[in-house]
Structure 1
Amino acid sequence: MHWFVLGCIRGLGLRKGGIVTDLQYLENLFLIPDGAERERRWREDPEARRILPELYRLDGIPQPPEYHPEGDVLTHTLLAIRHLPPQADPRLAWGALLHDIGKAETTREIDGRIRAFGHDRAGVELARGIMERLGMEPAKIEDILWLVHHHMFALSWQVDEESQLSRRQWRFVEDPRFPLMLDLMRLDALAAGANPAKLAQVEFYRRARRAQAP
C-alpha cells in the first residue's frame, strides 16, 4: 500500500542526511501504484516542487492544441507519469518526467503557431544538470539522456515501411535501450489524448525490432 511509502517519507520527515535522499524521495513517488494518485502527488507535493523547480516551470507553457489536447507541458508530463506501468524501469520514469523539460526554454509562437524547436537538445542539458545534482549514477544518467535526446526520432524519420530504414537507422533500432524508447513513445502518446498516429508508430517500430531479432 503506497501510504506506507508516503508515511515513511512524509509522516516521519525522513530527509537527505537521514534515510531518504532527494533522489530516493522522487523515485518513491514513481512507485505510487495508483496512476491518478501518482499524478496528483507529483502535481501537489511541496517537496517535489522544492527539489525539482525546473519541472514546475513547465506549468502554463502552451502546446499546439491539435497535437496536445490535454493542455500545457506540465499537464502532459504528469499524464505520462500517470500512465507508467507498475514497477516501471526507473530510466523510463525519469525519461517520461524529463522528456519535454526543454520546452520551458524553447517554446515560442511563430507565425501564429506554438513551436518548441530544439527542446530535445535543450532538455538534455537541463536533465543532465538535474540528475547530477541529485547524485544519480553516471550510467543511468546517460541512458536517460539518450531517451530525452532521441524521443522525437520518429517525427524526424517519417518512416512507415521497414524497407525505408537506412543502416544507421537499423543500428538505432537495434540499440539495447530501444525498447525503453518505445515505452516512452507510448507514454508520450497516451499523455497526448492517446494519439493514434503516435501509438501506430510504436507498434511499427516494435514489429521492426522483432523482425531483426535472431
Structure 2
Amino acid sequence: MRTFRVGGAVRDALLGLPVHDEDWVVVGATPDEMIDAGYLPVGKDFPVFLHPDTREEYALARTERKTGRGYHGFAFHAAPDVTLDQDLARRDLTINAIAQAEDGALIDPHGGQQDLRAKVLRHVTEAFREDPVRILRVARFAARFSDFSLAPETLELMRAMVKEGEADHLVPERVWQELARGLMEHKPSRMFEMLRACGALERILPEVERLWGVPQRAEYHPEVDTGVHNMMVLDMSARLQAPLPVRFACLTHDLGKGTTPEDILPKHIGHEQRSAALLKTVSNRLRVPNECRELADVVAREHGNIHRSEEFGAGALVRLLERCDAFRKPQRFELVLLACECDARGRLGLEERPYPQKDRLLAALGAARSVDTAAIAEQARERGLAGDQIGAQIQKARTEAVAAHSGGHVDP
C-alpha cells in the first residue's frame, strides 16, 4: 500500500500558490484494509476515505468505464491491481494529473509540469469526452488561471462534446456548483468566454448567451455590446471582492435586454421586469440557492431606479427602500448597492468613477430607520387607525426623517 498526493495540491504547490486542501490516492489497498487502518469510508460511488487524524480525503486508485449519458453514466473499478498511471490517466487536465510520492518525487506521465510552465490547459486523454462536467471544470480553471491559454485540441474536443449532446445531460446541481465556483474566481468572465467558445453556454445558460450582439445606448454604455458589458460587470464584482450572491446578481441583472424588441433598440424599456422573469426561470432550472436568487431579483428589478436615485426626493427614496425590503434586510440592501456599483463601473472607460448613489441611499436608510415605528403605530391605533392606515403613517414619518436628514423636500 502506497499513498500519493495528487491533483490541485500538487499543481498549486508547483505554481507557488497556497495549498488549502490536499487529496491523496492510495495504490495497492482494499476498502477493508483502509477501514482496518482506521480510515472512515465516505464515498458513495467509489471508495473514498477520511484520514483518522487529518480528515483529508484518501481515494483508492481507480479506473472508470462509460455506461451512459451525463455525469452519473460511469462504472468505477477500484482494486489493488489498479496502478497510479491508470488513475492519473482518467483525470481531466494534465496540470491536475501530477502525483507526488511520500519522498517528494513527482510522477508526471502526461506532461503536466510542461503545461504549467507553458501556461496551457490541456486534456489528458480522449476519456475527457466521457464526462460533460469537465467542460465546466475547464471553463472554471480558465477563470482561476486567467493567464493560461486553452489548448486548441482541447477546445475542439469540448466543441465535439457539445455537438454530441453531452452538455444536455448535465445535472442542474453540478452546473450550479461549477458556475458558483467559477463566479468566485479571479476573472469570472473567462469562464463564460470558454463556455461560449465551445458552444456550451447556449445549452446551459441561453439567457446569458443571447446578450452578445445586443446594442445599448453609447452615452450610457461606451462598450455598446450588452454581453461585453455583462462580463465587465462580472469582473468588477471580482475586483471589489463581492460575495457569491452579488456576483450572481451581476451575471443576471440585464437578462431582459436579450429579449428587447428590435424596433426599440438600442433603448431597453422595461428590461428590468423581463430580467426578473428570466432570472426566475434560470434560478428554477439550476436550483439556485434562495440567498442568491432573492438578492438577484432585487437587483434585476431595481438597479435602474437605484442608478437614478440621485434625482429622487424623500418620498421616492422611501418607496424605493420599501421595494428593496431594506428596512427588514439592511445587510442585504448593502449587497444590492454593491451589485449596482459593479453595474455602474462595469463600463468601458468608467471603471474608476465614483458611485455616490450608494452613500446617499445608505444615509437615507439610516435616517428612515431612526423612526420609532412602534410608537407611531401605537399612536395611530389610539386614533382608531388600522392596517394600511398605520403603514401610511409610518411611511410619512420615514419620509419626513429622510427629508430632514438630507435638507430636501417631502415629495408626494
Note closer, same or farther for the CA distance 1:66–1:168 as it changes in structure 2 (3 Å cut).
Answer: closer
Which one scores higher on RCO, CA 8 angstroms, separation ≥ 6? Answer: 1
Note closer, same or farther for the CA distance 1:56–1:117 as it changes in structure 2 (3 Å cut).
Answer: same
Specify the structure having the higher radius of gyration (Cα): 2
Say which is worse superposed, 132-141 or 71-80, in terms of deviation.
132-141
The 2-side partners of 1:135 and 1:200 are apart by 35
Counterpart position of 2:154: none
Note closer, same or farther for the CA distance 1:92–1:166 as it changes in structure 2 (3 Å cut).
Answer: closer
Q: Percent identity of the aligned residues?
A: 23
The 2-side partners of 1:157 and 1:21 are apart by 39
The 2-side partners of 1:166 and 1:131 are apart by 29
CA contact (8 A) 1:61 1:73 kept: yes
Instruction: State the Cα RMSD in Å.
Output: 3.3
Counterpart position of 1:39: 189
Task: Give 1 or 2: higher helix fraction.
Answer: 1
Counterpart position of 1:127: 279
Residue type of the partner of 1:68? H
Matches of residues 134-153 of structure 1 in structure 2 within 5 Å? 134-138=286-290, 140-153=292-305
Where structure 1 has 5 or more consecutive residues not aligned to the other structure, the ranges are none
Counterpart position of 2:242: 88
CA shift for structure 1 position 72: 0.6
Note closer, same or farther for the CA distance 1:150–1:175 as it changes in structure 2 (3 Å cut).
Answer: farther
Task: Give 1 or 2: higher strand fraction.
Answer: 2
Matches of residues 1-214 of structure 1 in structure 2 within 5 Å? 13=131, 15=133, 16=170, 21-33=174-186, 35=187, 38-45=188-195, 46=198, 47-85=200-238, 88-110=242-264, 114-138=266-290, 140-155=292-307, 157=309, 159=311, 163=314, 165=316, 167-171=318-322, 172=324, 173-176=326-329, 177-193=332-348, 194=350, 199-211=355-367
The 2-side partners of 1:212 and 1:78 are apart by 35
Note closer, same or farther for the CA distance 1:204–1:77 as it changes in structure 2 (3 Å cut).
Answer: same
Residue type of the partner of 2:190? R
Residue type of the partner of 1:90? L
The 2-side partners of 1:117 and 1:53 are apart by 21
Q: What's the secondary structure of 1:151's corresponding residue?
A: helix
The 1-side partners of 2:215 and 2:180 are apart by 27
Residue type of the partner of 2:248? W
Say which is worse superposed, 62-71 or 175-184, in terms of deviation.
175-184
CA contact (8 A) 2:215 2:225 kept: yes
Say which is worse superposed, 140-149 or 92-101, in terms of deviation.
140-149
Number of residue pairs the alignment of both structures matches: 204
The 1-side partners of 2:301 and 2:177 are apart by 24
